Chains A and B, each alone.
Chain A
């Protein structure tokens, strides 16, 4: 009996040691990484994470509704190719295969740009929530990048060039015009001049490129 009690005590001690060890290890890593950021950087990070999570939540709700609808129709024995067709339209618009219309902004900008400057403007717009972007009528897909020339998808863009983006006009304008933001930076570094306006209705064309991969294959 006493031997059993001693073994139980030792087991208990071992378990406590284990739990404390895990707790100790877990209390380390992430705080160290984030605590190296300044308060301003953390605020920016929180703001970006917050809006990204809102978008993820919306997407999750929409996908779950689609799943529910398909399951309901299947129970009722109804034909249901409609969700697949809707998704073809959705993914085609998202990827740049079809034209998109809606609210947004138009930016006409002139200066001694490098391709990297144009890339920076594109990323600021995406960060501001742009849903579709075109430069001088060339739809910006995932792989459309400004290169020396300046060319995008084989098309030489002008100077000034016109950038159109669909998204929240306020969100896009703030992203571009925030203090220390891209437009202020370009004004200071290359004396860029620009005009920026909101549009209630605009159309961004589809890409003219074939986006079918040549070597990449879908993983089943």
Chain B
């Protein structure tokens, strides 16, 4: 005899629930397969010599990001403590004023003011047969020329960011900043950036116009932009915020010449 359900009892799964569960299971199946496939691809990739290098570069990049965050926090704490240091009020004010001026000159201070924002990225054109791919991507020389034209046009503070550093602070250009290439990536202050590159500069009225007509810009970059359709946009803005430099400011091989030594 088949047992009968009590009159008020409900089945464990209603039809619409069954549909939901089926859909969820299908999604799990799809994602699981995708995950598995990407794991396999990654596994094969990591087994190659290049995969090992990619992993190492990723580790170093993550470590760099952590170090930059920690250093920024420590610098902020140090600055706050210095501003509260014990001493006579007048002496303290004088010392803090000198410190602030030195930080501004060194590029260690976050700055704001009117300026320009420039963006440049690789060409979207497909590379014609027989031509070099390098012509169609943003090169180290392009960034160096843009930066040269900005400084020579009166910029007072410049920072560069790229898509690889999304969420990370821009690289402030200081006296020790190298702009160098590593394949498709460009390193600024040792931080790898990739296009689109965004250059922010603070400077007086007319900075944008002077930049666009400066020989360092029209000499090479502008011609490459026109010839290879590199993506480029620039505009004058009322307010740009350029972060302070986060990095090493201590000398290992040299030392400041003190006034009393001169």
Contacts and interface: CB of A to CB of B under 8 A. Distances in A.
B50 A94 contact: no
A155 interface: no
Given A13-B28, A81-B92, A119-B144, A49 B64 contact: yes
Interface string B125-137: 0000000000000
Nearest to B259: A98
Given A57-B67, A143-B155, A96 B105 contact: yes
B5 interface: no
Interface string A154-177: 000000000000111000000000
Interface of A is mostly: helix
B192 A49 contact: yes
B124 interface: no
A20 B28 contact: yes
A131 B175 CA distance: 8
Interface string B86-116: 1100011001101111111111111111100
A145 B58 contact: no
Contact of B42 (A27, A58, A77, A92): A27
A215 B202 contact: yes
A190 interface: no
Contact of B178 (A36, A104, A126, A148): A126
A70 B242 CA distance: 29
A50 B257 contact: no
Contact of B180 (A24, A48, A89, A146): A48
B249 interface: yes
Given A21-B31, A45-B187, A49-B60, A31 B251 contact: no
Interface string A88-120: 111111111111111110000000000110011
**Chain B contact patch, size range:** 35 or more
A45 B96 CA distance: 39
Given A78-B86, A91-B102, A63 B148 contact: no
Contact of B85 (A28, A84, A133, A147): A84
A43 interface: yes
B228 interface: no
A132 B85 contact: no
B183 A37 contact: yes
* Max chain A Cβ within 10 angstroms of own Cβ: one of B70, B105, B107, B249: B105
Contacts of A126: 176-178
Nearest to A64: B74
A170 B147 CA distance: 29
Contact of B250 (A62, A115, A211): A62
Contacts of B75: 63
Nearest to B254: A102
Contacts of B176: 94, 126, 130-131
Contacts of B10: 3
In the A-B complex, the 5 residue pairs with the closest CB atoms: A52-B190, A102-B254, A41-B183, A95-B106, A93-B256
Interface of A: 2-3, 6, 9-10, 13-14, 16-17, 20-21, 23-24, 27-28, 30-31, 33-39, 41-46, 48-53, 55-60, 62-64, 66-67, 70-71, 73-74, 77-81, 83-85, 87-104, 115-116, 119-120, 123-124, 126-127, 129-133, 140-148, 166-168, 203-204, 211-219
20 contacts: A21-B31, A34-B57, A37-B185, A39-B50, A43-B53, A46-B60, A49-B57, A56-B67, A58-B250, A58-B252, A59-B247, A60-B67, A84-B95, A95-B107, A116-B141, A116-B216, A203-B257, A211-B104, A213-B113, A216-B113
